[in-house]
């Protein structure tokens, strides 16, 4: 069974640009969550999608948005990039998205904003 | 106050010892709890989950949950150098939200 696939693995962008990251969950999983991980802030929850609907949202500005497609693949978009957006972005998929359904992480996308 | 707090660490134990990692949570809506291990430069890997009060054992790992005290712990018996990593505690609600602690870095010295 294939794991969670995130693309691209590495990305370098300039301040002010926008970026789109992609996440393909494990087959059959309907919930996709996105996290930002930085050395100073740990793993911060961005949002969670379940059956194409955003079900949970963390405390990030509106520049961070996402969506989920009918095949459960998800994309995350960051507009007007800032230097502070440099981080490892992780997505995690789970079967039902309930608290009892364990989540599995992709390898992450390392975003560097210069 | 963070929703999930972990003992700050870093934690260092000798090979063969028991490593004890602790976590407290504030959201009483959290129904299940997860321990992830993250090696440097890698993504988190699920080790164990627990949702009932008491202990849950899996090999050298034991997770403990006390909902009344809002406390979760992970014990690693016979610690090995390969256990050296950052351990993340997460609480999950039935609404699909998972909140992570900042992690505790464990070093097992040969």
CB burial readout B16-36, b (16+ within 10 A) else e: eeebbbbbbbeeeebbbbbbb
End-to-end CA distance of chain B: 36
User: Please, which residues have CB within 8 angstroms of residue B1's CB and are 6 or more apart in sequence?
Assistant: B26
Q: What is the mean pLDDT of residues A79-91?
A: 97
Tell if the CB–CB gap between B49 and A102 is shorter than 8 Å: yes
Tell if the CB–CB gap between A33 and B98 is shorter than 8 Å: yes
pLDDT digits (tens, 9 = 90+) for A64-79: 999 999 999 999 999 9
- Residues of chain B in contact with residue A50, where contact means CB-CB under 8 angstroms, are 96
- Residues of chain B in contact with residue A55, where contact means CB-CB under 8 angstroms, are 95-97
Q: How far is residue B72's CA from residue B36's CA, in Å, rounded to a whole number? A: 13
Tell if the CB–CB gap between B44 and A43 is shorter than 8 Å: yes
Q: Give the nearest partner residue to A42 out of B93, B96, B100, using CB atoms.
A: B100
pLDDT digits (tens, 9 = 90+) for B71-96: 999 999 999 999 999 999 998 876 67
pLDDT over threshold 70, residue A1? no
DSSP string, A40-80: TTEEEEEEEEETTEEEEE-S--TTEEEEE-TTS-EEEEE-S
pLDDT digits (tens, 9 = 90+) for A2-15: 799 999 999 999 99
Q: How far is residue A1's CA from residue A3's CA, in Å, rounded to a whole number? A: 6
pLDDT over threshold 60, residue A90? yes
Residues of A within an 8 Å Cβ radius of B: 31, 33, 35, 42-43, 45, 48, 50, 55-56, 90, 92, 94, 96-100, 102-108
Q: Give the nearest partner residue to B43 out of A48, A96, A106, using CB atoms.
A: A106
Along the 110 residues of chain B, how does pLDDT read in single tens digits?
678 999 877 999 999 999 999 999 998 888 889 999 999 889 999 999 998 899 999 999 999 999 999 999 999 999 999 999 999 999 887 667 788 899 999 999 99
Sign of CA dihedral B32, B73, B61, B89: positive
pLDDT over threshold 80, residue A98? no
Per the omega criterion (within 30 degrees of 0), is the bond before B11 cis? no
What is the predicted pLDDT for the residue at A39?
83
What is the predicted pLDDT for the residue at B2?
74
User: Please, which residues have CB within 8 angstroms of residue B55's CB and are 6 or more apart in sequence?
Assistant: B62, B63, B64
Using CA atoms, how far residue A50 sits from A29, A71, A106, in Å, is 9, 11, 17
Using CA atoms, how far residue A44 sits from A36, A106, B16, B70, B82, in Å, is 5, 15, 33, 21, 26
What is the Cα B73 distance to its own chain's centre? 6
pLDDT over threshold 90, residue A17? yes
Nearest chain A Cα distance for residue B73, angstroms: 17
User: Please, which residues have CB within 8 angstroms of residue A100's CB and are 6 or more apart in sequence?
Assistant: B31, B32, B49, B51, B92, B94
pLDDT digits (tens, 9 = 90+) for A33-48: 999 999 877 889 999 9
Q: Give the nearest partner residue to A43 out of B88, B91, B93, using CB atoms.
A: B88
Residue A91's closest CA among A41, A55, A46, A39?
A46
Tell if the CB–CB gap between B96 and A48 is shorter than 8 Å: yes
Instruction: Mutation target for A interface from B98, B99, B101: give the one with most A CBs within 10 A.
Output: B98
């Amino acid at each position: 069974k294939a794991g969670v696939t995130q693309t691209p693995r590495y990305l370098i962008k300039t301040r002010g640009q926008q970026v789109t990251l992609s996440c393909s969950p494990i087959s059959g999983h309907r919930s996709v969550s996105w996290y930002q991980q930085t050395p100073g802030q740990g793993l911060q929850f961005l949002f969670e999608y379940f059956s194409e609907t955003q079900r949970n949202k963390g405390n990030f500005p509106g520049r961070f948005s996402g969506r989920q497609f009918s095949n459960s693949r998800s994309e995350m978009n960051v507009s007007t990039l800032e230097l502070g957006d440099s981080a490892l972005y992780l997505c995690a998929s789970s079967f039902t998205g309930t608290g009892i359904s364990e989540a599995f992480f992709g390898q992450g996308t390392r975003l560097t904003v210069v | 106050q963070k929703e999930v707090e972990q003992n700050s660490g870093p934690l260092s134990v000798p090979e063969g010892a028991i490593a004890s990692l602790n976590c407290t949570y504030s959201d009483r809506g959290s129904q299940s709890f997860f321990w992830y291990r993250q090696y440097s430069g890698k993504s988190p890997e699920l080790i164990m989950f627990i949702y009932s009060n008491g202990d849950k054992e899996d090999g050298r790992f034991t997770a403990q949950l006390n909902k009344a005290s809002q406390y979760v712990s992970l014990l690693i018996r016979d610690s090995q150098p390969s256990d050296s990593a950052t351990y993340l505690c997460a609480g999950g609600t039935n609404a699909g939200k998972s909140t992570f602690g900042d992690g505790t870095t464990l070093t097992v010295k040969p």
